[in-house]
Amino acid sequence: MRYTLGCSLSYEILSDTLFIFNLEVARLKSLRIISESLVLSPDPARRTYVAPDVRNRYLGVNVPAGAFSLEYAAEVDLTVTRADPETIGETPVAELPLDILPFLLPSRFVSSDRLTPFAQAEFGDLPQGHRRVNAICNWIHDHIAYVRGASDEETTADETLLARAGVCRDFAHLGTAFCRALGIPARFVSCYAYGLVPCDFHAVFEAYLDGRWWLFDATRQANLDGLVRIGVGRDAAEIAFSTPYGAMKPTGMEIRIDRADGQAETGPRTVDAISTEEPAPHAGAA
């Protein structure tokens, strides 16, 4: 499916500020970039970095004091892989590729070690596979309220569980934490989400099942086959759309994604088995 997408960000820079942006779509085989533009004003020297393993694209710019704006636009063709959720089992830990194992470890906002008793008690005996991760999403959707302002940038998965409220970032952290606590590799995903209302950067997560990464969205707000990936990481810290070092304040933000053919979308496809990354030969695969 073809999408046109992008974002407009503006800032008032109070003193020289380094920005690390991660808002361009990821460099994936399944995500063909038909056209793309990134306009900065002013336009400082750009440094770029594509993470070799997960293919996130980082942009670093040092911006002087004054007004600063960023305009990103892309047209992409996204190919998704579908499967029958019932047929997708879990990969035994003993068979996981070694380079996948870091996604079993706890990270700053994904306190999976603290949540292990909770995850084992609630989900330990459920049928394994895509169904189990979907059950986790259902549980989160039923128990956590989507409330803007309920959390901040230091909120961890265990805090969300107690607060019973959060935003997409928190839903994704909690889903990721429950998976890791059960021995299922999981990672945080930032994306443009077709159909999300209101449109915004979205956060979901992926679980590694039967040899590939599958998408899950515990907020149930977006169709899984309309998620255009920006980045994946251990948790939100690694793939913030904007990480500023310096004094500045945001003055505007707009995110866009539409179908390139202008057709309206039908849904929902929030519980389907959807993958956007081809299984690669893994280092240390079993």
Residues 6+ apart with CB under 8 A from 152: none
d(CA 140, CA 129): 17
- Which of 15, 49, 67, 251: binder of a second copy (CB under 8 A)? 49
Binder among 8, 33, 38, 60 for a second copy (CB under 8 A)? 60
Contacts of 198 (CB under 8 A, 6+ apart): none
Find the helix or strand (DSSP H, E) in which 248 lies.
Answer: strand 248-259
Interaction with a second copy in 74-93: which residues (CB under 8 A)? 93
C-alpha separations of 108 from 45, 156, 158, 268, 271 in Å: 32, 7, 11, 32, 27
The binding track of 7-46 with respect to a second copy, each residue x by CB under 8 A or -, is ---------x-x-x--------------------------
Q: Is 255 helix (H, G, I), strand (E, B) or coil?
A: strand
Cα atoms found within 13 Å of the Cα of residue 50, Cβ hemisphere only: 7
The pattern of x and - marking residues 99 through 138 that bind a second copy according to CB under 8 A reads x-xx--xxxx-xx-xxx-xx-xx-----------------
Token pair in block for residue 278: 């081809």
- Spell out, one character per residue from 133 to 172, where the chain touches a second copy: x when CB under 8 A holds, - when not: ----------x-x-------xx---x--xxxxx-------
Determine the size of the site formed for a second copy (CB under 8 A): 53
Which residues of the chain form contacts with a second copy (CB under 8 A)? 16, 18, 20, 47-53, 58, 60, 62, 93-94, 97-99, 101-102, 105-108, 110-111, 113-115, 117-118, 120-121, 143, 145, 153-154, 158, 161-165, 183, 234, 237-238, 243, 245, 283-286
